[in-house]
Amino acid sequence: MKLSTKGRYAVMAMVDLASTSHGNPVALADIAERQEISLSYLEQLFAKLRRGGLVRSVRGPGGGYLLAHASDQTRISDIILAVDEPIRATRCAPGSPVGCRANKARCLTHDLWEELGNQIHLYLSSVTLANVVSRRVLGTSGVLEGAEAPLAEPMVAAQ
């Protein structure tokens, strides 16, 4: 899980789309103006979002983009995963963590980064576009509802 401005731009744009499209396509130019992001850059982001199945496009005049799913079905983590290339969190041998054992001193931190990635993914998976639009990102207690449930299924390596 990578955190860069690219992912943030994508989320900002998706929030804009979710809050302005009431079933109608929204042109990228409008989003670009409201969010102050260059149109060409947005096009690149939305190309990835489309390939990731998060938005649908309508070409021609009156066209634009639509959410592929309802805003409460679109998780923030999906958006970030769609636009950001996965990165290698450790400098271990590519592929399996076999190379780690060769130099165990270096990879004591391996589990730490992996678990941190899990934590980030867990949080961003618990927030939907609808949550952000309605400004319900977190409860007042600082604890996210529904986030306490321990992971049942093995979490995908966050990378």
Partner DNA sequence: TAAATTCCGACTGCTTTTCTCGGGTATGGC
Partner DNA sequence: GCCATACCCGAGAAAAGCAGTCGGAATTTA
Contact 14, 87 (CB under 8 A): no
Beta carbon of residue 73, minimum distance to DNA (angstroms, whole number)? 20
| Residues 124-147: b if buried by 16+ CB within 10 A, e if exposed | bbbbbbbbbbeeeeeeeeeeeeee
* Residue 119: contacted member of its own copies, DNA, none (CB under 5 to 8 Å, by partner type): its own copies
Contact 58, 64 (CB under 8 A): yes
Beta carbon of residue 145, minimum distance to DNA (angstroms, whole number)? 31
Residue 95 contacts its own copies per CB under 8 A: no
Residue from 1, 11, 13, 65 in contact with DNA (CB under 7 A): 65
Contact 28, 39 (CB under 8 A): yes
**Site residues for its own copies per CB under 8 A:** 3, 5, 8, 11-12, 15-16, 19, 34-36, 76, 89-91, 103, 105-106, 108-109, 111-113, 115-116, 118-120, 123-124, 127, 132-133, 135, 137-138, 141-143, 150-151, 155
